[in-house]
Structure 1
Amino acid sequence: MKIATDELITDLMKRTRKCLAKGEQLRDLPEAALNLKQNETSWSALECLEHLNLYGRFYIPELSKRVAEARAGSEPVFKSGKLGNYFANSMLPKDKLNKMKTFKNMNPLNSRLNKDQVIAEFLEQQQELLRLLEHARKISLNKTKTSISISKWIKLKLGDTFRFVIYHNQRHLVQAERDL
């Protein structure tokens, strides 16, 4: 995938603002509604948000570190890497979400969750993503590499990592809405 860098960042910021708005809407719902489940092995809407928070606890500091360490100088075009493009595209929400296994340490199933804490953390993470995306306008999304949560040996381009995280957020917000 090739895309103008500014166009990519603008798209990712738009998607993140939508995630932020959905999170704010969820904040207004009763806790009982947010804890409803379709069955005992599915996640509630609140568990979907906690899953995103768990990933955010890894990716937000990783993105912050890489953005802060990057030298100034962006390119006009972002060219996705093969692996990064695959990971990002696999997270895009689809009409019928394909089920994926999650790692045990990222699985909030049957967790005791505080609605206010979970939603507040999610909203803070979305605000931080917006801040990082704004800073990313000044650096290389191609040359700056990030670690990923499943392996310290695999590195993705910064642009692909942003895409993965934000598409993943969208995917689970669609799931959360379906659970309500």
Structure 2
Amino acid sequence: MKTEALLTELTALATQHRQFAETLLTRTDAELNYRQQPASWSVLECLEHLNLYGNFYLPEIENRIRAGKPQPNAEFHSGWLGNYFAQSMLPKAKLNKMKTFKNMNPINRVLNKSVLETFIHQQIKLLELLNESRQVDLSRVKTSISITNLIRLRLGDTFRVVIYHQVRHIKQANDVLLSSTNHASKREIVL
């Protein structure tokens, strides 16, 4: 796969995610904290979950880029494990639930719009890192993953995992938002 094509795709997705979060700033706290079910996540919980992963991955990516040799490569070759992780993050037509690690599960935390601000800042940082990564070989630079230091993924795969994970939870947040709007409409009709 061409490195530039990959970075262009990931940059477009990260930009869309930032823009989505910016639109949420106009929503009410009730809309942002609404849950479809008691055990499901609200919009803010979806984004806080992504923030928790961003707290690990953004410094990890930044450190690895800075430590990498400035040898860009026009081709990116995904590793089999990295490709598997990246593809597993994308939402499927049929719901594919995944178990969340307890320390990354934001359910029942008291959250406010500062979650959105953090997410927006993280997206800006992610966009900067995507740009900086053009100076290194995305196949040779390796990063640790959040669950263990024993597994290392190629930088290009790490970007894919992080951003495809965002795709998954942005879709989830949008679905919750649509549900909260429908729920509010039905409530208004009943009243």
Aligned twin of 1:43:
41
2:120 maps to 1:123? yes
Aligned twin of 2:185:
none
3-state SS of 1:152 partner: strand
Aligned twin of 1:14:
12
Shift of 1:74: 1.1
Counterpart CA distance in 2 for 1:141 and 1:126 is 19
Largest Rg, 1 or 2 = 2
3-state SS of 1:155 partner: strand
Counterpart CA distance in 2 for 1:74 and 1:97 is 38
Counterpart CA distance in 1 for 2:94 and 2:116 is 25
TM-score, scaled relative to structure 1: 0.96
Aligned residue type for 1:161: T
Aligned twin of 2:133:
136
Among 18, 24, 27, the alignment partner of 1:26 is 24
Counterpart CA distance in 2 for 1:176 and 1:52 is 11
Aligned twin of 2:182:
none
Counterpart CA distance in 2 for 1:141 and 1:75 is 7
Aligned twin of 2:84:
86
Counterpart CA distance in 2 for 1:64 and 1:114 is 28
Counterpart CA distance in 2 for 1:174 and 1:94 is 11
- Which deviates more from structure 2 when the two are superposed, residues 140-149 or residues 23-32? 23-32
Aligned residue type for 1:158: L
TM-score, scaled relative to structure 2: 0.91
Where in structure 2 are there 5+ consecutive unaligned residues? Answer: 178-191
Aligned twin of 1:153:
150
Where in structure 1 are there 5+ consecutive unaligned residues? Answer: none
**Considering only aligned residues, what root-mean-square deviation do their CA atoms show, in Å?**
0.8
Q: Give the % identical residues.
A: 53
